[in-house]
Amino acid sequence: MNSKKVRDVVDGKSTVLIENGVVIQKNLKKERLTVDEFLEQLRKKDVFRVADVEFAVMEQSGDISVMLKKEFQPLSADLLGYRLSSEKEPRTIIMDGHILPESLQSAGLSEDWVNKELRKLNLTLKQVTIGQVDSKGELSVQTGTEALPKTANSNPNDQIQDLVQQLEDDLIIRKQFATNDKDRLQYQEALNQLQTAMHAYQRNRA
Question: What digits encode the pLDDT tens for the residues 18-48?
Answer: 998 999 999 999 999 999 999 999 999 989 8
Q: Say if residue 104 is exposed, middle or buried (CB neighbours under 10 Å; 0-12, 13-18, 19+).
A: buried
Q: Residue 77 falls within a domain, yes or no?
A: no
Question: What's the mean pLDDT in 185-204?
Answer: 83
Q: Residue 80 falls within a domain, yes or no?
A: no
d(C-alpha 61, C-alpha 13), whole Å? 10
67 shares its domain with 106: no
165 shares its domain with 135: no
pLDDT at 125: 94
96 shares its domain with 61: no
Name which of 45, 68, 64, 40 is nearest 55 in CA terms: 68
Mean of per-residue pLDDT scores for the chain: 82
Q: Residue 116 falls within a domain, yes or no?
A: yes
Picking from 104, 132, 148, the residue at the C-terminal end of a domain is 148
The CATH number that applies at residue 44 is 3.30.240.20
Range of the domain at 63: 4-72
Q: Residue 81 falls within a domain, yes or no?
A: no
Q: What is the pTM of this model?
A: 0.43
Q: Spell out the residues 6+ positions from residue 139 whose beta carbon is closer than 8 angstroms to its own.
A: 93, 114, 117, 118, 131, 132, 133
pLDDT at 15: 92
Predicted confidence (pLDDT) at residue 14 exceeds the cutoff of 70: yes
Residue/partner pairs of 125-131 with CB below 8 Å, 24 or more apart: 125/94, 125/97, 125/98, 125/99, 126/97, 127/97, 128/94, 128/97, 129/95, 129/96, 129/97, 130/92, 130/94, 130/95, 131/92, 131/93, 131/94, 131/95
d(C-alpha 184, C-alpha 89), whole Å? 40
11 shares its domain with 68: yes
Q: Residue 78 falls within a domain, yes or no?
A: no
Q: Residue 84 falls within a domain, yes or no?
A: no
142 shares its domain with 101: yes
User: What tens digit of pLDDT does each residue of 120-173 get?
Assistant: 999 999 999 999 998 888 999 999 888 878 655 446 676 677 777 878 888 888
Predicted confidence (pLDDT) at residue 1 exceeds the cutoff of 90: no
pLDDT at 124: 93
13 shares its domain with 61: yes
Number of domains in the chain: 3
